[in-house]
Amino acid sequence: MREIIFDTETTGFDPLTGDRMVEIGCIELVNRVPTGETFHCYFNPQRTMPPSAQAIHGLSDAFLADKPLFAAQVGELLAFLGDSMLVAHNARFDFGFLNHELKLCGRPEISLERMIDTVAMARTAHPGAKHSLDALCTRYGIDRSHRIKHGALLDAELLAQVYIELTGGRQIGLGLIADEEGADLNATISDTFDAGQRPVRAPRIFFPTDQERERHRAFVAGLTDPIWQLGEKEVAPL
């Protein structure tokens, strides 16, 4: 199962009012295990960067001036995304900007059916708690000390670790691979161990000692109205 964790940085909050995407970072997971394959690109938004947005991600007009337009990189991006499910934190925000950029360059939008939102997952897993990426990293013990400002690839890397925890933890990826010839390497111990080769041990039979028998008789004699004697007495109706 292939999934793509992605994050975007933008000039603001709403593409319908002229905001643009300026960075995207993508991490490939196969069977919930990072493969090391990534896609990362900055884009020239063809507009000025508001100071409030620059304060969040640190991307200035000068830095983005020589970066490619989204349309120039869209083919490579879509090839990386393929038809995989796409995972993002507050995913409708990222999907909104991604689909807006695709629309501007005449490409089909990506269906929301491919969307997995880790905010929604976190609300289900931890109702009433904080669900920001920082809060979830703290909850799961994920090191984010190097996250001084927001960055699409860095945030996607952190989110990949959060997503793995939200979907069962790091052990979920152990053994979920196949060898080069396609043989399944996910066999359990019982699958790989021949029951006919198991050592046969004689049963160990234990008998109570005379002292234990006497202690048991004394204990039973001291019980008040044991249930096995109810049939010997007249029981009052309820």
pLDDT of residue 184: 46
Q: What is the CB neighbour count within 10 angstroms for residue 170?
A: 12
Judging by DSSP bridges, how do beta strands 85-88 and 2-10 pair with one another?
A: parallel
Determine the residue type at 151.
G
Tokens for 21, please give them.
Answer: 């995407």
Q: Does residue 158 carry a pLDDT above 70?
A: yes
The yes-or-no answer on residue 150 being catalytic is yes
pLDDT band at 192 (very low <50, low <70, confident <90, very high): very low
pLDDT of 193: 43
**Whether the predicted pLDDT of 189 surpasses 60:** no
Structure confidence at residue 175 as a pLDDT band (50, 70, 90): very low
Q: Is the pLDDT confidence value at 196 over 80?
A: no
Cβ atoms of 87 and 116 within 8 Å: the answer is: yes
Better-predicted residue by pLDDT, 85 or 150: 85
The secondary structure element, H or E, covering residue 135 is helix 133-140
Among the listed residues 26, 12, 13, the one whose alpha carbon sits nearest the alpha carbon of residue 110? 26
pLDDT greater than 60 at residue 133: yes
Task: Single out the catalytic residue among 126, 146, 150, 216.
Answer: 150
With bands split at pLDDT 50, 70 and 90, how would you rate the model's confidence at 231? low
Q: Which CATH number fits domain 2-171: 3.20.20.10, 3.40.50.300, 3.30.420.10, 3.40.190.10?
A: 3.30.420.10
Catalogue the long-range contacts made by 230-235 (C-beta closer than 8 Å, 24 or more residues apart). none
- Does the pLDDT value for residue 147 go beyond 70? yes
Q: How confident is the model at residue 4 (pLDDT cuts 50, 70, 90)?
A: very high
Indicate yes or no: pTM above 0.75: no
User: Could you tell me the residue ranges of all domains in the chain?
Assistant: 2-171
Checking if the pLDDT of 129 tops 70, the result is: yes
Of the pLDDT bands very low, low, confident and very high (cuts 50, 70, 90), residue 179 is very low
